[in-house]
């Protein structure tokens, strides 16, 4: 068993796994910096990759979608473009996008003439694959395009198609792998060659394919016996998905701190890709593994709203329900030359940090970046090109629109799971996620209005119970307001403090 410590390993690219009984945390490092971070808790493990036999419970013609009961608390959502019909007709238009531990299908052309009502009926049973975890109040997103990812290949049952990951750049290697895939592919199946296949032999690919076909045949047998809704196949947990999807020839080492999981990983790698066995390392350092490699500090920064830049500027990240807004500010950076040059330098520095934070925090959906306004068009072009280049390292699919006259960049990023902030945090119960609470003085004036309404109905004595900060203001600086109400209506007002009341809550009792 090889021991490793944070000081010994200063590799270009590493995978760190902190595995406990309660949760699994995985960090992907490049040059010692965390670029991707995943958390999976045993109680709410990811559903992405799971295959279910579901039942259609509701058709939504206006949204061209359906709700599918797959046995979860909330029904899953199935969009019309994600329903497989005539594979022979649509297979030529399938375009592969390998994104880590999942494969998505895009550009379903020729489907505009097929409505959801023609494809599905309430009560119908359907086999679906989870493509997105439940996020917020939304149920899981599912598709009927089944994909089974292996180490080197992704198997697509009932699809006559061969694709290759765009992350394999060498054209000769692409042609070699595609030729092998077309040779070994059985009729009635499609294949996508994954990034990890680079430099693999035909024997290795064939071994992976045989395993995936056996897996699919087992799912088929289970489907015939199972009643809907039921789980037919559960994807690997985060530890083994990380080994399967992240451990490539470009990764120097995978370091894990659990002896039990270390032995399981070694057996897994020895069986399926023995060439990488020497990359698996057991961590025995005195410090917790993520502390030893400086990961905990990066995670703490990733949960903050404000991120400082080295120059003294900073970015502010506000994640909302519909979108994420990122604002760039010069902060303490005053520059040495003219204002335009200072702004350009701040924006260019912010570009790298923003791309890094988007990836680390796993921000998805609509993202708007508000750069500091630049007067020169060539400077706006520099910032835009730098941002596009920085986002090329991101494994998640993203679309970036050109920088606007207002200095805004609008983009979308594929969201499969909750962001890091939403996974590790919850909305503040005090402000209910708004980020603000009413000021004590604002509450005093609300109380005056409510007391006035109550006094007008003939009360003789009114008791106000409020949070100490509000009660103190009422008894001191705003006492004249209460005295005016007492004199106007001929009543007595008594103020009481309560430490158990929310600052925005108060009670008014009439006697």
- Which DSSP symbol is given to 197? G
Kindly tell me if the per-residue pLDDT of 337 is higher than 70: no
Q: What is the pLDDT of residue 57?
A: 95
pLDDT digits (tens, 9 = 90+) for 153-187: 999 998 888 999 888 888 999 999 999 999 999 99
The C-alpha R_g of the chain, in whole angstroms, comes to 29
- State how far the Cα of 161 lies from the Cα of 138, in Å rounded to an integer: 32
Kindly tell me if the per-residue pLDDT of 353 is higher than 80: yes
pLDDT digits (tens, 9 = 90+) for 442-484: 999 999 999 988 888 777 899 999 999 999 999 999 999 889 9
Three-state SS annotation for 78-108:
EEHHHCCCCHHHHHHHCEEEEECCEEEEECC
- 126 DSSP β-pair partners: 54
Per-residue pLDDT, averaged over 68-80, amounts to 93
- 277 DSSP β-pair partners: none
- Enter the pTM of the model: 0.76
Q: What is the pLDDT of residue 86?
A: 43
Cα-based torsion angle of the residue sequence 334, 339, 341, 342 in order, rounded to the nearest 10 degrees: 20
Structural tokens at position 132: 């997105």
**Are the beta carbons of 261 and 269 closer than 8 angstroms?**
no
Q: What is the pLDDT of residue 223?
A: 92
- State how far the Cα of 362 lies from the Cα of 417, in Å rounded to an integer: 8
- State how far the Cα of 476 lies from the Cα of 473, in Å rounded to an integer: 5
**Are the beta carbons of 454 and 510 closer than 8 angstroms?**
yes
Mean model confidence pLDDT for the chain: 86
- Among the residue ranges 92-96, 410-414, 502-506, the one predicted with the least confidence is 92-96
Question: What band does 110 get if pLDDT is binned at 50, 70 and 90?
Answer: very low
pLDDT digits (tens, 9 = 90+) for 75-106: 999 999 898 764 332 222 233 344 443 444 43
**Are the beta carbons of 279 and 268 closer than 8 angstroms?**
no
Q: Higher-confidence residue: 299 or 368?
A: 368
Q: What is the pLDDT of residue 97?
A: 40
- State how far the Cα of 398 lies from the Cα of 254, in Å rounded to an integer: 28
**Which residue, among 348, 356, 354, 335, has the nearest Cα to 378 in the 3D structure?**
348
């Amino acid at each position: 068993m090889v021991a490793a410590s944070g000081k010994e390993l200063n590799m270009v690219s590493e995978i760190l796994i902190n595995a406990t009984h309660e949760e699994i945390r995985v960090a992907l490092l490049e040059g010692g910096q965390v670029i991707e971070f995943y958390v999976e808790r045993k109680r709410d493990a990811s559903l992405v990759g799971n295959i279910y036999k579901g039942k259609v419970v509701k058709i939504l013609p206006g949204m061209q979608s359906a709700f599918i009961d797959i046995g979860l608390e909330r029904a899953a959502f199935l969009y019309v473009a994600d329903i497989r019909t005539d594979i022979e007709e649509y297979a030529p238009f399938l375009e592969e996008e390998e994104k880590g531990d999942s494969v998505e299908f895009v550009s379903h052309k020729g489907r505009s003439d097929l409505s959801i009502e023609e494809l599905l009926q309430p009560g119908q049973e359907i086999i679906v694959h989870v493509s997105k975890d439940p996020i917020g109040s939304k149920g899981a997103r599912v598709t009927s395009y089944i994909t089974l990812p292996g180490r080197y290949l992704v198997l697509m049952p009932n699809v006559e198609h061969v694709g290759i990951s765009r992350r394999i750049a060498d054209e000769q290697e692409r042609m070699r792998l595609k030729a092998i895939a077309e040779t070994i592919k059985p009729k009635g199946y499609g294949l996508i060659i994954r990034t990890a296949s680079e430099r693999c032999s035909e024997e290795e690919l064939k071994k992976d394919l045989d395993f995936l076909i056996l897996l699919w045949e087992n799912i088929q047998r289970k489907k015939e016996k199972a009643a809907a809704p039921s789980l037919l196949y559960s994807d690997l947990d985060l530890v083994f998905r990380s080994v399967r999807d992240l451990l490539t020839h470009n990764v120097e080492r995978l370091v894990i701190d659990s002896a039990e999981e270390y032995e399981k990983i070694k057996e897994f790698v020895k069986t399926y890709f023995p060439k990488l066995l020497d990359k698996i390392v057991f961590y025995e350092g005195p410090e917790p593994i993520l502390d030893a490699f400086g990961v905990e500090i990066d995670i703490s920064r990733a949960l903050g709203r404000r991120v400082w830049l080295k120059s003294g500027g900073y970015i502010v990240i506000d994640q909302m329900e519909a979108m994420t807004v990122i604002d760039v500010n010069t902060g303490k950076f005053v520059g040495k030359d003219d204002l335009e040059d200072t702004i350009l330098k701040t924006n260019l520095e912010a570009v790298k940090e923003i791309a890094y934070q988007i990836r680390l925090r796993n921000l998805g959906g609509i993202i708007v970046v508000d750069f500091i306004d630049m007067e020169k068009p060539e400077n706006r072009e520099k910032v835009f090109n730098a941002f596009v280049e920085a986002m090329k390292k991101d494994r998640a699919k993203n679309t970036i629109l050109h920088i606007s006259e207002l200095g805004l960049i609008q983009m979308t990023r594929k969201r499969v799971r909750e962001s890091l902030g939403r996974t590790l945090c919850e909305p503040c119960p005090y402000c209910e996620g708004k980020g603000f609470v009413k000021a004590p003085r604002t509450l005093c004036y609300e109380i005056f209005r409510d007391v006035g309404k109550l006094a007008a109905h003939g009360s003789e004595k009114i008791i106000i119970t409020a949070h100490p900060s509000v009660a103190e203001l009422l008894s001191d600086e705003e006492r004249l307001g209460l005295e005016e109400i007492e004199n106007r209506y001929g009543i007595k007002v008594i103020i009481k403090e309560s430490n158990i009341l929310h600052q925005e809550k108060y009670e008014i009792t009439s006697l």
